Amino acid sequence: MIFNLLLVCTVASAEATPIRIAIGSCAHQDSVQRVWDGVLAWQPDLFVHLGDAIYADTRDSTKMRTDYEKAWANTRFGRVRDKVALFSTWDDHDFGENDAGSSYPMRRVAERLFFEFWTDQGDPGRLDRPGVYGSRLIERAGNSVRIILLDTRFFRSDWTPDTSGKRRYRVDYDGSKTILGADQWRWLEEELRMPADLRVIASSIQVVNDEHGWESWGNFPSERKKLLDLISATGAQGVIVVSGDRHFTELSRQIRTNGYPIYDFTASGLTQVAHKGHLAMNSKRVGDAVTGQNFGGLAVNFAAGTVRFLGFNEAGIVVFDYKIRMSELGVETQ
């Protein structure tokens, strides 16, 4: 009787314990990186690194390796690697050059160095194909969260510069240009059809906020539409997007006529801080943006049927907290 009671209590405790997914991006290897102490204090089940783990900006493989070695020598980051499961993609500066895509000549060298340092990523299939995209599943008490990690660099067509001076890049309607490439698009469709209660699409660049003129899926509207249409076509429920790159944290919401809203939680930067002028352009923002060094978190509570979007400052204090019900994302909970 006592054993059965303990078993019931243990199961109930597991069901009530949220799955904690920390997210972040943009950590310069020359910075102190105090923010990792806050990540450890939150005790996440997984840390998803959304890119720019180093700022290499080079075509010299020796320099890129040295930058990785410097970042991996950081004791705070080392403690996180020892105690927290990690799942990582890259953005432009650890891919190799600012805003770089498939035309970057050292991309295969960069890929080799990426996997040399980012070991034990939980998806061995990543090593058998070009690029760094992959997926992994977090399961607890009969519920699951599928992390779908995209590579927005290795296959991406070059952006089109805007000569007017109003934006960094012009919106390009050429449907032949791609962000993911054909193979990754096929893989993404398969992943969206895989079973899961909640799906987190991790993109190094923003999906929902397309107003600022810097790097985002909005620079290639046909690709952005393809992503949103694919979510609908596969019938995937409970899709949330997380992104990095912007050097500040914000939550954006895309209202859709043919499906539930898509939330894009941008978490940036672990060390890099944006100029305040970059914060103004987002009519889809929910709440206030978080500036300063920070990281983000998703607290997924299946027992309560909720997801909390959390922003933490450098000291690990919650400075942003927005909660939604999973039913808003089409997820049925008990």
CA distance 147 to 136: 5
Query: Which letter does DSSP use for residue 280 in this model?
Result: S
| Per-residue pLDDT tens digits for 10-43 | 444 555 799 999 999 999 999 999 999 999 999 9
pTM of the model: 0.94
| Per-residue pLDDT tens digits for 138-181 | 999 999 999 999 999 999 999 999 988 888 999 999 999 999 99
Q: Which amino acid, one-letter code, is at 262?
A: I
Q: Are 194 and 184 in contact (CB under 8 A)?
A: no
**Neighbouring residues of 169: CB distance < 8 A, sequence distance ≥ 6:** 159, 160, 161, 162, 213, 214, 215, 219
Q: Which residues of 180-198 are buried (b: 16+ CB within 10 A; e: fewer)?
A: bbeebbebbeebbeeebbb
CA distance 46 to 84: 6
Side-chain-side CA neighbours of residue 200 (13 Å): 31
| Per-residue pLDDT tens digits for 35-74 | 999 999 999 999 999 999 999 999 999 999 999 999 999 9
Per DSSP (E only), the strands in 141-238 are: 143-149, 160-161, 169-170, 198-203
Domains in the chain with CATH codes? 18-329 (3.60.21.70)
Q: Cα dist. 183→109, 130, 192 in Å?
A: 20, 9, 14
